[in-house]
Amino acid sequence: MTSEAVLTGADLTLAYDGRTVVHGAGIELRAGTVVALIGPNGSGKSTLLRSLARLHTPQSGTVDLGGADAFVLRPRDFARRVTLLTQSRPTPGGVRVRDVVAYGRHPYRGRFGAGDPDGPAHVQRAMELTGVAEMADRAVDELSGGELQRVWLATCLAQDTTVVLLDEPTTFLDLRYQIETLDIVRDLADEHGVAVGVVLHDLDQAAAVADHLVLLQQGVVRATGRPAEVLTSELLTEIYGLRIDVHVDADGHVRTRPVGRHHTRKVSI
């Protein structure tokens, strides 16, 4: 990756209740690129992402945003540059979709919600990008899990930041909206120059959407690089504890195939 580094975590050690869960990890998010964090459950992916969003203070190491220590920036200044879609958020009762998406404009508003003339246009655009515009006047507590996930994604996009962090954004979504969400991720990088960091469990989705992968195991970064460099059968088989075959298809896309005990069973016709 040769573009400008926008958000960088260096030598990050992160802990919960005195137990270290990430050990000396480094990660760089650059303008116009997508970095996907992958690895088994409990490998530290979400914790590392949360530290970049200032939601988890490191025991050691630094988080740098555009040449400044991210943890000393004013909250409003940080929120105008970095947004995070978390895995779970409380569902506000009786609040319309349009109003929830408008929460993303909070860094630009003064007291009593004033001073954001561009807000309505950003909210409408975010709803259209995520396919929730037609439900703008519905109460969010009436939505399905997949619909609500798209509303929260729209809230992040309405924030209009140069860095977007997404923690498992395809959770709860059916296949169509998984693919459309990944298309939005690519559009953010390719068309708007946004630096994107995303946690994904699906290795094929990560290979398809990301320019750069960070593979973690038990809080340690085991490999970084382009998908074809990181997604090797030997390394994945070791880290995930089962055989994973890897091949590159005719279009140059990396494909993975976990092989379970029954996957080699011959099918009788």
Determine the average pLDDT of the residues in 231-241: 96
pLDDT band at residue 42 using 50, 70 and 90 as cut-offs: very high
Give 3-state DSSP helix, strand, coil % of the chain, rounded to 5.
Answer: 35, 30, 35
79: tokens are 């929120």
Q: Is the pLDDT reported for residue 198 higher than 80?
A: yes
Tell me the β-bridge partners of 215. 38, 223
Q: Residue 268 has what pLDDT?
A: 56
pLDDT reported for residue 111: 67
Distances, alpha carbon 31 to alpha carbons 1, 34, 189, 193, in Å? 10, 9, 7, 5
Task: Please give the biggest Cα pair distance in the chain.
Answer: 71
Mean pLDDT of 238-245: 95
Mean pLDDT of 45-51: 97
How much is the average pLDDT of 178-206?
95
What pLDDT band is residue 88 in, cutting at 50, 70 and 90?
Answer: confident
User: What is the per-residue pLDDT for 113?
Assistant: 59
| pLDDT digits 0-9 by tens, 129-167 | 999 999 999 999 999 988 999 999 999 999 999 999 999
pLDDT reading at 267 higher than 60: no
CA 26 – CA 13 distance, rounded (Å): 10
Alpha-carbon gap, residue 111 to 114, rounded angstroms:
6
Return the higher-pLDDT residue of 227 and 2. Answer: 227
Give residue 112's pLDDT.
61
- State both tokens at 63: 């988080």
**Per-residue pLDDT tens digits for 167-184:** 999 988 999 999 999 999
Q: Which domains does the chain have, with CATH numbers?
A: 5-228 (3.40.50.300)
DSSP 32: T
